[in-house]
Amino acid sequence: MPARDGTRGRVHMPRCAIAGVEATVAETARAFPRHSHDRFGVGLIVSGGHKSASGRGLVEARMNDVITVNPGEVHDGSPLDERGRAWHVLYFEPSMLAGAAAELDGVQTREFELTRPVVHDPLLKLLFERLFAVAVQPSDAGD
């Protein structure tokens, strides 16, 4: 778990077996300043709780919640308490999700947005865990 001073922890970017996808494994009590990503992020809080402020408002996620972020969405992040939090995230090239959305609804679109920053859904959690297990080999996950 994170150091007692709340500033240290581990953020690891393991090799991902899926082209166009990057993975992050984190366990930390560190607060992250405002920043953005150039990819869609879909992840899972695996322990603790996390809060952030973004264009979608104040977000709080707890263990087993699926979290999402859109490309260019400015957000920050901090733990809900001094124990910190841990998460696994997959970052997808925008064209991958836009292509998948087009296949699902039959409409080609250049604009695609994830509208729910936190989702509490046991099936979605399970599906994400399966995808993460395929994408990231156990020896690379840092667990």
pLDDT at residue 108 in the model: 65
> What is the structure's pLDDT at 109?
64
What is residue 108's three-state secondary structure? coil
> Which residues, listed in sequence order, are joined to residue 27 by a DSSP beta bridge?
10, 86
Has residue 38 got a pLDDT over 90? Answer: yes
Q: Where are the domains of the chain?
A: 9-135
Reduced to 3 states (helix: H, G, I; strand: E, B; else coil), residue 125 is helix
87: its two tokens: 């998460």
Through-space distance between the first and last CA atoms of the chain, rounded to whole angstroms = 12
Residue 141's pLDDT is 57
Q: Give strand pairing partners of 58.
A: 53
Q: Are 40 and 73 in contact (CB under 8 A)?
A: no
Q: Is residue 52 pLDDT above 90, yes or no? A: yes
Pairwise CA distance, residues 10 & 28, whole Å = 6
pLDDT of residue 126: 98
3-class DSSP string for 39-71: CEEEEEEEEEEEEEEECCEEEEEECCCEEEECC
Maximum distance among all alpha carbons in the chain? 51
Global pTM? 0.86
Task: Answer yes or no: CATH 3.40.50.920 is held by domain 9-135.
Answer: no
Mean pLDDT, the chain, integer: 88
